[in-house]
Amino acid sequence: MLRTKEGDRIGDPESDGRRRRSADSRRRIIEAMLELVREGDISPSADAVAARAGVGRRTVFRLFSDMEGVYREMHAVMREKVAPVRDAPLVGETASAKVHALVDRRARFFEEVLPLMVAAGVHRPRSTVLQNDHALIQRELRNILSELLDEQILSNREMVESLDMLLSIDVWRRLRLEQRLTVAQATSILHMLVTALLPA
């Protein structure tokens, strides 16, 4: 009979049940980590995670032997959670109208992930997983923007770079956390700056 790398027999009801329980515990641990980070704890302790997830402290260490595994699964769960916002259609007859629609979508997206991005920024210098995830997200965001722009805008390198910077999580973080603006105020400022940048 085939076995998993843990030695469980494939197709064995007891082994299958054990794997399902482990998968469920892993998910609860990741959800607990995400909740704690959202609440402002950028480095939750194993005890805090275990308590929030409803599992034993030993289970946390058994299922996650290193932080890279935790970061990898947190990233996957977050992508799943924000998919409806990330994939919302951008409606508009012109490139300018679509960029303004992108402002609204990014405001929702960035607000959803802001606490996690702040925490990731603290740990990124020591994590290959977080560095790779960050690079991937930046490429995806830039590609989405580029696909909306017409040839006139794309031919202006300074304008493209300005839009890419303006519609970044870094600018959103400054507006929301350092300048302490509301979501509505921060979004309004982005719309105003986009209007000033784009050709009439």
What domains lie within the chain, and their CATH numbers?
13-65 (1.10.10), 68-84+91-197 (1.10.357)
Which string of DSSP letters, residue by residue, matches 118-165? HHHHHHGGG-HHHHHHHHHHHHHHHHHHHHH--HHHHT-HHHHHHHHH
Q: Is the dihedral of CA 197, 111, 40, 47 positive or negative?
A: negative
Note the pLDDT tens digit of each residue in 97-146: 999 999 999 999 999 999 999 999 999 999 999 999 999 999 999 999 99
Asked if the model's pLDDT at residue 196 lies above 60, the reply is: yes
Pick the residue with more confidence: 190 or 12? 190
- The predicted pLDDT at position 15 comes to 65
- Ramachandran category for residue 60: left, alpha or beta (phi over 0 → left; psi -120 to 50 → alpha): alpha
Name, in order, each residue with C-beta under 8 angstroms of 36's C-beta and a sequence gap of 6 or more.
Answer: 44, 48, 49, 52
C-alpha separations of 78 from 48, 56, 162 in Å: 20, 24, 27
Note the pLDDT tens digit of each residue in 115-126: 999 999 999 999
Q: How confident is the model at residue 7 (pLDDT cuts 50, 70, 90)?
A: low
Query: Degrees (nearest 5) of the Cα angle 136, 165, 155?
Result: 95
* Tokens 């939750």 belong to residue: 44
Pick the residue with more confidence: 63 or 200? 63
Closest residue by Cα to residue 74 from 129, 19, 154: 129
- The predicted pLDDT at position 81 comes to 84
- The predicted pLDDT at position 6 comes to 55
